[in-house]
Amino acid sequence: MRLLISRAVCLALLVPALWAAGVKLILKDGSYQMVRSYEIKGDRVLYYSLERSLWEEMPASLVDWKATEEAKKTDNLENLEKAREVIREAAAEPKPGEGLEVAPGIRLPDDWGAYALVNGQVVTLPASAAGARTDMKRMAISILLPAPILRNRKIVSLPGVKAQTQMDQPPAALFVSGKATETSRFALLRLTVKDGSRELEAILMPLIKGKAQHQGNQVEVTQEALDKDTTKLIPRQPLARGEYAIVEFLDDKLNLFVWDFGVLNHR
C-alpha cells in the first residue's frame, strides 16, 4: 500500500517553521547574526544564535537597528508568501477520500487499494490473504499418469464462507488503484464455497517443466485504464448472488493478497 502524508499535516508543520526560520540582526559593519530572538538590555543586546544554538550578547551600538527592522519586514513578507503558496497547493491537490473522479461528483479515496461502486457510493474492499494447499486426490491420480503430463494441483482459498464486505446489490463497477508490477493484470473470480472456505482457483504446477496453469471461475469483465495506476473493471453481466474476489496476476504467478466481497441480491 502507498504511504501518504497528509497535506494538512505538512501545512501544520511547515507554516510555523517558516515563521520561526530566524531573524537577521544586521550589524553596522555590513555583516549579520541569524538569531531566533533578541532582547535589548541597557547598552547590551541579548540574542539566541541559530548558528551556535547559544544565548550570546554584544554591545547594542554595533547593531544597525534601522536595517534590522527593514530586513525583518522583508523576511516576514517572504515567509507569508511561502505560507500562502503552501495553502494554495494544499487546496489544489486531492485530499484523502477525494482522489480520482470516477463518476460525476464521485471520487475514489486517494490511496492504493480496491473499491466498488454500489448504489452511487464508493465501498472500500479490504485485502485478504489467501493460502494454497496441495490437492492430495489429484496428486494420487497424477502418480498413476505417464510422466509427460504429471502435474501437481494446488487449491488457493480464503478462510470462511463469507467475505467481510457484503453488498445488497451488485456493484456497477470495480476499481483497483496501484499495481505490484508494471505487467500486473487483474481478474474478477467467482469463488466456490467448499469445506468451510472459499476456493479462488486451482493452479496446475508441472512436475517437470512448463508454465503454471490457472483454473479459476473468471467473470467476464470490461477493463479500462483510467490512469497509469487505476484500473476499472465492469462486469459484462450483473453479478449473481455469491462470493467474489479481485485478484492480481504477476506474469504467471498469483498475488495471494486479494480483495474479496459478497453479493447478497441480484438486480
Residue 86: band (very low, low, confident or very high) from pLDDT cuts 50, 70, 90: low
Residue 89: band (very low, low, confident or very high) from pLDDT cuts 50, 70, 90: low
User: Would you state the pLDDT for residue 83?
Assistant: 56
Residue 43 scores a pLDDT above 60: yes
Name the nearest CA neighbour of 117 among 170, 160, 65: 170
If you average pLDDT over residues 67-82, what whole number do you get?
A: 73
CA–CA dist 144, 247 (Å, integer)? 33
Q: Which residue has the cell 487483474?
A: 186
Q: The C-alpha cell of 155 is what?
A: 487449491
Which is higher by pLDDT, 83 or 201?
Answer: 201
Phi and psi at 142, nearest 5°, equal -60, -35
User: Which three-class secondary structure state does DSSP give residue 183?
Assistant: coil
Sign of CA dihedral 13, 14, 19, 21: positive
User: Would you state the pLDDT for residue 133?
Assistant: 56
Average pLDDT, the chain: 75
CA–CA dist 64, 45 (Å, integer)? 12
Which is higher by pLDDT, 76 or 40?
Answer: 40
Which is higher by pLDDT, 138 or 119?
Answer: 119
Phi and psi at 98, nearest 5°, equal -135, 55
If you average pLDDT over residues 208-216, what whole number do you get?
A: 49
* Tens digits of residue pLDDT in 166-176: 999 999 999 99
Residue 180: band (very low, low, confident or very high) from pLDDT cuts 50, 70, 90: confident
Residue 143 scores a pLDDT above 80: no
Residue 235 scores a pLDDT above 90: yes
User: Would you state the pLDDT for residue 236?
Assistant: 93
If you average pLDDT over residues 66-73, what whole number do you get?
A: 84
User: Would you state the pLDDT for residue 7?
Assistant: 43
User: Would you state the pLDDT for residue 227?
Assistant: 87
If you average pLDDT over residues 157-183, what whole number do you get?
A: 89
Q: Which residue has the cell 486479494?
A: 258
Residue 23: band (very low, low, confident or very high) from pLDDT cuts 50, 70, 90: confident
Residue 44 scores a pLDDT above 80: yes
In this structure, how many other beta carbons lie within 10 angstroms of the beta carbon of residue 227? 8
DSSP-assigned letter for residue 267: -
Residues 253, 155 contacting (CB under 8 angstroms): no
Name the nearest CA neighbour of 258 among 171, 188, 170, 184: 188
